[in-house]
Amino acid sequence: MVARRGTRRAAAVALLLAATRLALADAALEERAPCPVSTRDQARGLAEVLFEQGDYQQSGACYQAAGEYALANRAFLKAIEPQSAKTARQLSEQGEQTKDLVRKMRRAFGVEN
């Protein structure tokens, strides 16, 4: 009975660590740098160039500065697509690592389930 409590506690810690890594990975998406121009026309022009270059996050910031919110939303959505896929892969990998850790801990404590 004591071994099960220890295993559950260790598994809970492992899951919390995995969740922390995911939260930190997504924090970068929330940071938005302001557009480095002084007028709306310049912001719009820079946003278009950045969008064509694939810098969707910065493009979205410039579209926002230009007051083009629909275009900003489109750019931000394009920016998160690759990050979402990357986060999903990381979550899958961390889930497998957590399962492996729990298996090892069960073996170490002689708990079979």
Q: What does the H/E/C string look like for 26-72?
A: HHHHHCCCCCCCCCHHHHHHHHHHHHHHCCHHHHHHHHHHCCCHHHH
Residue 113: predicted pLDDT: 61
pTM higher than 0.95 for the full model? no
Residue 34: predicted pLDDT: 85
**Domain parsing of the chain, residue ranges:** 2-109
Does 1 have pLDDT greater than 70? Answer: no
Q: Which residue has the higher pLDDT, 107 or 81?
A: 107
The arithmetic mean of pLDDT across residues 26-47, rounded, is 76
The arithmetic mean of pLDDT across residues 36-55, rounded, is 95
Does 40 have pLDDT greater than 80? Answer: yes
> In the structure, what pLDDT confidence band is assigned to residue 23 with cuts at 50, 70 and 90?
very low
